[in-house]
Amino acid sequence: MLYTIVTGAAGFIGANLVKALNQCGVTDIIAVDHLEPADKFRNLVDCEIAEYFDKSEFMHLIEGGHFDGSIEAILHQGACSDTMETDGQYMMANNYRYSLSLLDYCLDEEVPFLYASSASVYGGGNVFEESREHEAPLNIYGYSKFLFDQVVRRRLIDANSQVAGFRYFNVYGPREQHKGRMASVAFHHFNQYRTTGKVKLFEGCDGYGNGEQRRDFVFVDDVVRVNLHFLDRGGSGIFNLGSGRAQPFNDVAVATVNACRAVEGKPVLALADMVAQGIIEYIDFPEALKGKYQSYTQADLTRLREAGYDGEFATVEEGVAQYAQARLKSDDVMVVTPA
């Protein structure tokens, strides 16, 4: 029997990949994660898997040859994704060394290896092309992803099997509730509005107005579709995976509030109306983020398109509305309705 391995399987993107594989009829899945916090297990409750291994046990088995000849592909999503983490040793062990061990294994066994990189490798630049001269990470998280990408570039020259890395931009969507402060802004905006009737955004910085810092926000369903496209059709390289659009944080807040208001039977409001009514508030930009914050990101999708992916990506308005509606139907969502 051949197994599809998903690391970080109980995490945000990993769990969405497992669910999508199930929907494609794939259930011979080995889920790998480290269940701390344990509540991440909820992401897999509605999924079908063949086996679960803790990350440390899985690596012991990999290194011992236990899976030789029995792996269809590895979808490597496991990592520490906390961009505020300051323990460099921990970050490099989890994001760089772990990934390198799996890459070596897949190349030796000629097993397809699809992995999660990050747009954080671009740092504070304003050109988002998959090219070394545009890469200058601002934190240890970004550096751990950047360094692994450099290894992949060197190994691809002689690789006899698929290696595809995806530089995720700002992903949002279902199954991210365990991420806490590292969850998407759409997640936090939803919680804020449902509990207080307000959404808080940063004041302007880096030349941008209040809430006008712009990011490439990409819906997790689109991220999953790209991964499955490459899993099905092959293709190697490092690719940006965003929507290809830069939209302000204000757009996320407005889309979230209006999705909630629709359920409450209230009319749609424009940004100016929300600000005037105090529904959107602007707060001081945190000192801890100054010099370490990407005020603008926009994925250049040229290489992704050239590799054969022609799917459309949801706008913030489309994706956030769908996400908010899903959360409003969830049993885990508080039912407090703002006054």
Instruction: Provide the annotated active-site residues.
Output: 141, 179
The helix (H) or strand (E) run that includes residue 218 is strand 217-219
Alpha carbons 318 and 330: distance in angstroms, whole number:
19
Q: What is the DSSP string of 108-174?
A: HHT--EEEEEEGGGGTT-S---SSGGG---SSHHHHHHHHHHHHHHHHHTT-SS-EEEEEE-EEE-S
Alpha carbons 135 and 318: distance in angstroms, whole number:
30
Cα angle for residues 172, 223, 314 (degrees, 5° grid): 70
**Coil vs helix vs strand at 328:** helix
Q: Which residues are bridge partners to 31 per DSSP? A: 6, 52
Alpha carbons 214 and 296: distance in angstroms, whole number:
5
Alpha carbons 27 and 132: distance in angstroms, whole number:
38
Q: Are 245 and 315 in contact (CB under 8 A)?
A: yes
Alpha carbons 116 and 165: distance in angstroms, whole number:
6
